[in-house]
């Protein structure tokens, strides 16, 4: 599975029935793949929903490939920042399953509103992974077309995009695009820190009273830069949904299968006109908030080690090995692809040209402005006055 | 020509109705804009005729109004947001300044936010605190926003439709104390033949000094000009209409003739529109000036209690006093 939709596109050989434990997991934390890589057949949520996945072997391998590629590209971006090629990088390390699981759960017609860390979702949407590096290198402010890829621009002001997602989802309803399999759904990404923002709470209110076809997808990575979850909330985040009048559920955000199942279910509910819901993807930011941060100042090594044992990729690999869905050759091939894509990313980042200074005047207004025309002309003349200079 | 005598508020109402009729993507949203027709009745009757999907009563949160309108705009709608009073716009400030204003720029022109943010602004109605403010400088200072203000029913009718038709995000400041003032409005004139949205106009030609105003202060300055004429002084009054971008060509022409300029606004003077206008006139008309550009403004206090607002707000006498001072230089 490369860029496709695992639920709908692949109709290959189904994974052979195996002697899975017919267990019902903890409804307080939907999990379909344990940290040791053991499959849980299904989990029944508090409202009776049965969460399960029905992937082919090829689809399982595809998810693994996504996870590895996303991690490798992220690591390359971190390295590029360390070498001075990016001004900043916000690593997704540790959150690959939350992003790939939810990103692959989106159908082609669904619209996503990310924060600035959703590189894995961006990848799943088919956007060239070079795109966000332009923003962090400082040569542009994003670059992809949000409407073409159904993936809005990164939003750095915390929580602001949840209102945009809500308004967009209201527009979906106004366009009559809910109801049925081809209905449209919207997903809003945000973090645990954002849940303290007024905008997020306003988005909850709006989505609820307008019954917007929207999934609030909160990656609870336990920290808002240095501040732990306890500084944001006294109740589990997913329970906040009840107060706003829509369902909330917590999923193991390091479990790509459970995240996929829960997100797909919520999106399908939304597209069928059943309104919004909140998913709390319980995960951990293994790295720093950004490359400007030093997490050793506010968290202890043993905590990080405990989460290391819940790694989102290792458990999929263990599962694939145990079930003999993939062999050593496959893992080596994926690693080699990741290496090649990282090299390619690096080469292209180094070739990104700096923008011409006068382009800072572009696109301020769709209809332009005489004041800006004047300033641009004056600035151009000023630059030209340095005859023979680098300008 | 089908002209009617209308209040400024009614002219806005009819302009909004025309915008809803002309473009199915136009939606009006805000607090109490539906059944109630807005606290000033500017949207009166619109929900009844266009339905609650076109004229949307929103929850009571200003950031939510603007933020969801951003999403609707990305979806292809043209939201017209009402902020109930000037002093209530600040909860939406981040969405306006960081999101609405920058979306087109950040996306390299791929996303447009054709949004109008209507704000009844200014004092003079005896209101309690937070209901009489003049926040225009905050928005005029923000790249990516355009800011306009209408001063009479005809302009209100034309400009609100032009603003809605524009792909730029526009803060539309309505002079709330002039909502009930009447004037002739030509309801049939094609919009395409109207003056451009971002253009100043000479509201009263004159030869001796140039008085600049916008929104509620245009009427005050016209009254001052009438009074000055009785004293034999002929004032030119210019209605700026657009605060960002400023359209100062007509102003420079005027000041080069008169040699004197007075800028009048209700907002406080410190770092206000008057400062920018005075600087620009000085840069462009330095050798024509017979005196410094003077400002008549609200004071640099919070908006005061209503029983003293008439002392706070520029009035006819303060405008004439400033004009006198330009002649005493």
Asked if B139 has any chain A CB less than 8 Å from its own CB, the reply is no
Within a domain: A83: yes
| B66 shares a domain with B43 | yes
CATH code of B323's domain: 3.40.50.920
Does residue A310 register a pLDDT over 70? yes
Shared domain for B139 and B52, answered yes or no, is yes
Q: How many other C-beta atoms are found inside a 10 Å radius of the C-beta of residue A308?
A: 14
pLDDT in tens, A290-301: 999 999 999 999
Is the same domain home to B11 and B125? yes
Do A340 and A366 have their domain in common? no
Q: Where are the beta strands (DSSP E) in chain B?
A: 3-7, 26-30, 55-57, 78-82, 116-121, 146-149, 170-175, 182-186, 201-204, 209-213, 235-239, 242-244, 261-268, 294-298
Last residue within a domain, chosen from B143, B158, B193: B193
Write down the pLDDT at residue B2: 80
The three-state secondary structure class of B91 is: helix
Residue-wise pLDDT tens digits, B270-306: 999 999 999 999 999 999 999 999 999 999 999 999 9
**Is A146's CB within 8 Å of B63's CB?**
no
Tokens encoding A168: 């967009």
* Active-site annotation holds for B131: yes
Domain limit, last residue, from B137, B158, B193:
B193
Q: Which residues of A touch B34 (CB under 8 A)?
A: none
Q: How confident is the model at residue A28 (pLDDT cuts 50, 70, 90)?
A: confident
Do A344 and A382 reside in the same domain of the chain? Answer: no
- A366 and A273 within one domain: no
Residue A300, Cβ density class (10 Å: 0-12 exposed, 13-18 middle, ≥19 buried):
exposed
Query: In this predicted structure, which of A84-93, A205-214, A378-387, B71-80 has the lowest mean pLDDT?
Result: A378-387
Strand partners, B170: B116, B146
Q: Looking at residue B190, what is its pLDDT?
A: 86
A285 an active-site residue? yes
Band (pLDDT 50/70/90 cuts) for residue B113 is very high
Is residue B150 domain-shared with residue B220, that is, in the same domain? no
| Inter-chain touch B107–A141, beta carbons under 8 Å | yes
Q: Give the pLDDT confidence score for residue B243 in this predicted structure.
A: 98
Cα–Cα distance for residue pair B176/A347, rounded to 1 Å: 59
- Are both A115 and A161 inside the same structural domain? yes
Both tokens of B162, joined, read 């032009």
Q: Are residues B141 and B283 in the same domain?
A: no
Same domain for B213 and B177: no
Distance CA A30, CA A254 (A): 11
Mean pLDDT of A163-169: 98
If asked whether residues B172 and B294 sit together in one domain, one would say: no
pLDDT per residue as tens digits for the range A223-251: 999 999 999 999 999 999 999 999 999 99
Residues A335 and A377 in one domain: no
Final residue in a domain of this structure, among B158, B176, B193: B193
Q: Are residues B157 and B9 in the same domain?
A: yes
Query: How confident is the model at residue B193, as a pLDDT?
Result: 87
Pair B207, B238 in one domain: yes
- Same-domain status, A188 and A273: yes
**Confidence check: pLDDT of A8 > 70:** no
> Among A15-24, A115-124, B61-70, which stretch is predicted with the lowest mean pLDDT?
A15-24
- Could you tell me the pLDDT band of residue A11, with boundaries at 50, 70 and 90? very low
A160 neighbourhood in chain B, CB within 8 Å: 67, 94-95, 98-99
**Mean of the pLDDT values across residues B87-116?**
98
List the CATH number of the domain containing A249. 3.40.50.970
> Domain range spanning residue A367?
360-391
Decide: A316 and A286 in contact? Cβ < 8 Å: no
Quickly list DSSP for A317-340: HHHHHHTTSS-HHHHHHHHHHHHH
- The residue of chain B nearest to residue A208, with distances taken between CA atoms, is B59
Tell me whether residue A53 is in a domain: yes
Count CA atoms within 13 Å of residue B180 on its CB side: 4
Query: Is the confidence at residue A13, as pLDDT, over 60?
Result: no
Look up the domain containing B217 and give its range.
201-327
Question: Could you tell me if A226 and A305 lie in one domain?
Answer: yes
How many residue contacts between A and B have a Cβ separation below 8 Å? Answer: 137
B71 touches chain A (CB under 8 A): yes
- Residues of chain B found within 8 Å of residue A209, distances taken between Cβ atoms: 59
**Residue labelled with tokens 């050989």:** A13
Q: CB distance A205–B64 less than 8 Å? A: yes
Instruction: Judge: B71–A169 Cβ closer than 8 Å, yes or no.
Output: yes
Q: Which residue has the higher pLDDT, A26 or A146?
A: A146
B148/chain A closest Cα distance in angstroms: 14
pLDDT confidence band for A24 (50 / 70 / 90): low
Q: What is the pLDDT of residue A182?
A: 95
Domain count, chain A: 2
Instruction: Note whether A247 and A387 are same-domain residues.
Output: no
- pLDDT for residue B329: 87
Clarify whether residues A127 and A276 are in a common domain: yes
Pairing of strands A43-44, A50-51: antiparallel
Q: Residue A4 pLDDT > 50, yes or no?
A: no
Looking at the fold, whether B51 and B174 belong to one and the same domain comes out as yes
Angle at A193 between CA A137 and CA A308, to 5 degrees: 75
CATH number, domain of B166, equals 3.40.50.970
**Same domain assignment for residues B138 and B65:** yes
Choosing from A107, A137, A250, A285, which is the catalytic residue? Answer: A285
List, for residues A174-185, the tens digit of each pLDDT value: 999 999 999 999
Kindly report, residue by residue over A70-104, the tens digit of the pLDDT: 999 999 999 999 999 999 999 999 999 999 999 99
Q: What is the mean pLDDT of residues B208-225?
A: 98
Q: Quote the pLDDT of residue A47.
A: 86
A32 occurs within a structural domain? no
Global confidence as pTM: 0.95
Q: Is residue A278 part of a domain?
A: yes
**Claim to verify: residue A78 and residue A169 sit in the same structural domain:** yes
Buried b (16+ CB within 10 A) or exposed e, B144-156: bbbbbbbbbbbbb
User: Does B246 lie in the same domain as B140?
Assistant: no
- Cβ neighbors of B134 (< 8 A, separation 6 or more) are B86, B121, B122, B123, B265, B266, B267, B268, B298
**A158: chain B residues, CB-CB within 8 Å:** none
Q: Are residues A291 and A215 in the same domain?
A: yes
Instruction: Answer yes or no: are the C-beta atoms of B47 and B33 closer than 8 Å.
Output: yes
Domain tally, chain B: 2
Instruction: Return the structure tokens found at A248.
Output: 């909330």
pLDDT at A22: 55
Residue B260 has pLDDT above 80, yes or no: yes
Q: Is the pLDDT of residue A5 over 50?
A: no
Indicate the pLDDT class of residue A54, thresholds 50, 70 and 90: very high
CA distance A101 to A67: 9
Query: What pLDDT sits at residue A248?
Result: 97
pLDDT digits (tens, 9 = 90+) for B26-58: 999 999 999 999 999 999 999 999 999 999 999
Average pLDDT over residues A195-217: 98
CB contact at 8 A, B220 and B264? yes
Residue B168 and residue A366: Cβ atoms within 8 Å? yes
Tokens of B190: 């094609």
Specify whether A241 is located in the same domain as A380. Answer: no
* A169 contact B CB<8A: yes
Q: Is B104 on the interface with A (CB under 8 A)?
A: yes
Whether residue A310 contacts residue A234, with contact meaning beta carbons closer than 8 Å, is answered with no
Does A204 contact B at CB distance below 8 Å?
Answer: no
Q: Give one DSSP letter per residue of B124-157, joined into a string.
A: -S-PPTTSS---HHHHHTSTT-EEEE--SHHHHH
A298 a catalytic residue: yes
Considering the candidates B131, B141, B198, B265, report the single residue annotated as catalytic. B131
Mean pLDDT, chain A, integer? 93
């Amino acid at each position: 599975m490369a860029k496709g939709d695992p639920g709908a596109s692949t109709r290959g050989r189904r994974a052979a029935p195996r002697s899975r434990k017919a267990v019902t997991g903890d409804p307080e934390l939907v999990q379909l793949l344990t940290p040791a890589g053991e499959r849980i057949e299904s989990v029944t949520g508090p409202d009776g929903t049965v969460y399960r996945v029905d992937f082919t072997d090829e689809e399982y391998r595809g998810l693994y490939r996504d996870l590895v590629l996303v991690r490798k590209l992220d690591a390359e971006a971190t390295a590029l920042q360390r070498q001075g090629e990016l001004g900043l990088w916000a690593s997704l390390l540790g959150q690959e399953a939350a992003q790939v699981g939810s990103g692959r759960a989106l159908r082609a017609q669904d619209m996503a509103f990310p924060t600035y860390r959703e590189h894995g979702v961006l990848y799943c949407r088919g956007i060239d992974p070079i795109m966000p590096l332009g923003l962090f290198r400082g040569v542009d402010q994003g670059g992809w077309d949000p409407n073409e890829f159904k993936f809005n621009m990164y939003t750095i002001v915390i929580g602001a995009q949840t209102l945009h997602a809500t308004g967009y989802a209201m527009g979906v309803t106004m366009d009559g695009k809910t109801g049925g399999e081809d209905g449209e759904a919207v997903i809003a990404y945000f973090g645990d820190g954002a849940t303290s923002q007024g905008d997020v709470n306003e988005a909850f209110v709006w989505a609820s009273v307008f019954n917007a076809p929207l999934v609030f997808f909160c990656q609870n990575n336990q920290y808002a830069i240095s501040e732990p979850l306890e500084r944001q909330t006294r109740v589990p985040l997913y329970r906040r949904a009840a107060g706003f009048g829509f369902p909330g559920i917590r999923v193991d955000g390091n479990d790509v299968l459970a995240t996929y199942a829960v997100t797909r279910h919520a999106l399908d509910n939304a597209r069928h006109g059943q309104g919004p819901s909140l998913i709390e993807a319980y995960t951990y930011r293994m790295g720093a908030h950004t490359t400007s941060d030093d997490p050793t100042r506010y968290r202890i090594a043993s905590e990080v080690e405990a989460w290391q044992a819940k790694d989102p990729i290792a458990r999929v690999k263990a599962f694939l090995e145990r079930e003999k869905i993939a062999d050593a050759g496959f893992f080596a091939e994926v690693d080699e692809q990741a290496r090649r894509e990282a090299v390619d990313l690096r080469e292209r980042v180094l070739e990104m040209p700096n923008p011409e200074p006068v382009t800072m005047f572009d696109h301020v207004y769709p209809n332009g402005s005489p004041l800006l025309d004047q300033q641009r002309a004056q600035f151009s003349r000023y630059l030209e006055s340095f005859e023979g200079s680098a300008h | 020509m089908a002209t009617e005598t209308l209040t400024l508020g009614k002219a806005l109402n009819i302009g909004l109705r025309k915008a809803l009729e002309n473009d199915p993507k136009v939606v009006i949203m805000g607090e109490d804009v539906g059944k109630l027709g807005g606290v000033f009745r500017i949207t009166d009757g619109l929900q009844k005729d266009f339905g609650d999907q076109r004229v949307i009563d929103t929850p009571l949160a200003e950031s939510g109004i603007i933020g969801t309108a951003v999403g609707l705009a990305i979806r292809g709608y043209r939201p017209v947001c009402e902020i109930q009073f000037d002093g209530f716009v600040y909860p939406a400030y981040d969405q306006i300044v960081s999101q609405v204003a920058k979306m087109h720029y950040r996306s390299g022109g791929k996303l447009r936010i054709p949004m109008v943010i209507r704000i009844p602004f200014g004092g003079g109605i005896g209101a309690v605190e937070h209901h009489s403010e003049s926040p225009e400088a905050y928005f005029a200072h923000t790249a990516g926003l355009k800011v306009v203000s209408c001063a009479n029913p005809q302009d209100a009718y034309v400009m609100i439709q032009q603003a809605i038709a524009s792909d730029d995000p526009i803060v539309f400041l309505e002079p709330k104390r002039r909502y009930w003032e009447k004037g002739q409005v030509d309801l049939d004139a094609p919009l395409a033949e109207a003056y451009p949205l971002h253009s100043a106009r000479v509201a009263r030609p004159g030869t001796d000094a140039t008085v600049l105003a916008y929104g509620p202060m245009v009427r005050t300055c016209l009254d001052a000009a009438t009074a000055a004429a009785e004293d034999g002084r002929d004032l030119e009054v210019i209605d700026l209409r657009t605060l960002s971008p400023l359209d100062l060509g007509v102003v420079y022409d005027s000041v080069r003739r008169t040699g004197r300029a007075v800028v009048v606004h209700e907002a406080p003077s410190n770092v206000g529109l008057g400062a920018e206008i005075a600087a620009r006139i000085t840069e462009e008309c330095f050798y024509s000036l017979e005196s410094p550009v003077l400002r008549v403004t609200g004071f640099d206090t919070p908006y005061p209690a209503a029983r003293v607002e008439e002392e706070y707000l520029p009035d006819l006498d303060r405008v004439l006093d400033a004009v006198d001072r330009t002649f005493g230089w």
